[in-house]
Copies of this chain bind each other. A is one copy, B any other.
Amino acid sequence: MSLKESRWEELADIKRVLAKRDWFPGTSGNLAIKVDQQPLTFLVTASGKDKTKESNEDFLLVDKDGKPVENTHLKPSAETLLHVEVYNKTNAGCSLHVHTIDNNVISELYGDKGRITFKGQEIIKAYGLWEEDAEFTIPIIHNHAYIPKLAAEFGEYVKEDAGAVLIRNHGITVWGRNALEAKKYLEASEFLFSYHLKLLAYQSIK
């Protein structure tokens, strides 16, 4: 199996698991995984597909500018430029973007503050933070309709090899050194969003 094929399998596996959770409503969401570093190429989801289905046209290979490196009728996801930011600025190997109800609600409730900070929750260890009072902050950015502008603002928060950014009323983008780490960041973030919201509701009625 070539490197591209093995990366394809890793990304297809993540797509399958997230699709079962209905995390790609209305063909939303996009996923990417790095194949080569020099020159940079990565696989990214093709635009407009129903991600509950699987085919050999689910992903296509693009370059450091997000342009297809092979002759294809497929179009890269409209938000490929955000993945470009990740691979050009860090050593990340995988990046995932999904819309969920809870990440959208959090992004709106804390959108004016521009960030949400989590603390005192075991699952924070998923971010590689093992101290008892570790904190993890996720920035929340404006959802610019013009993708290059959105990518530029997103890129300001892309500094580490793993991280997470919320886009207001839109969704979350996470990235990590490899597929496992990116998925771990995503699941930990979604857990924290859901936990935070549910706790907030009960703290208000106790």
| Chain A residues with a Cβ under 8 A of chain B | 13, 17, 21-22, 25-28, 48, 50, 52-53, 99, 101-102, 104-105, 108-109, 120-123, 126, 130-132, 143-145, 167, 169-171, 180, 183-185, 187-188, 190-191, 194-195, 197-206
Q: State the main secondary structure of chain A at its contact with B.
A: helix
Copy number of this protein in the oligomer?
4
**CB pair B167 A145 closer than 8 Å:** no
Closest chain B residue to A190, Cβ basis: B25
Contacts of A17 in B (CB 8 A): 52
Contacts of A202 in B (CB 8 A): 105, 109, 197, 200-201
**CB pair A191 B122 closer than 8 Å:** no
- Identify A194's interface contact among B26, B52, B101, B108, CB under 8 A: B101
Closest chain B residue to A179, Cβ basis: B50
Contacts of A26 in B (CB 8 A): 123, 126, 184-185, 187-188, 191
Contacts of A21 in B (CB 8 A): 22
Contacts of A123 in B (CB 8 A): 25-26, 28, 99
